[in-house]
Amino acid sequence: MERVRFTPALTEIQDAANRLAMGQVVKVILRFRDPFWEDSADLKDLTFVHAVAETLPTWWSQFPLRAPVLAGWAGGTC
């Protein structure tokens, strides 16, 4: 397997990357027939929603791409 090599080595960056911790996450991708939220003038340019009290508190659209897709995300301890 070939790898990307840096000369001189990027040791500080590699050390920082090695210290990154990953936790639990749930990600849901929903595809609809139509981007129904664009029917509302207030949501036509929807990009990101954060509703702290919800089970899936973080949602985003594909804006500026106009696609009938919403992604939901929840992270942390389960």
Express each pLDDT in 4-41 by its tens digit. Answer: 888 888 889 889 988 988 888 899 999 999 999 999 99
State the DSSP code for 43.
T
Say what the pLDDT of residue 3 is.
Answer: 81
Does 78 have pLDDT greater than 90?
no
Express each pLDDT in 47-64 by its tens digit. Answer: 999 998 998 999 999 999
Say what the pLDDT of residue 40 is.
Answer: 92
Does 1 have pLDDT greater than 90?
no
| The dihedral sign for the CA sequence 34, 35, 40, 44 | negative
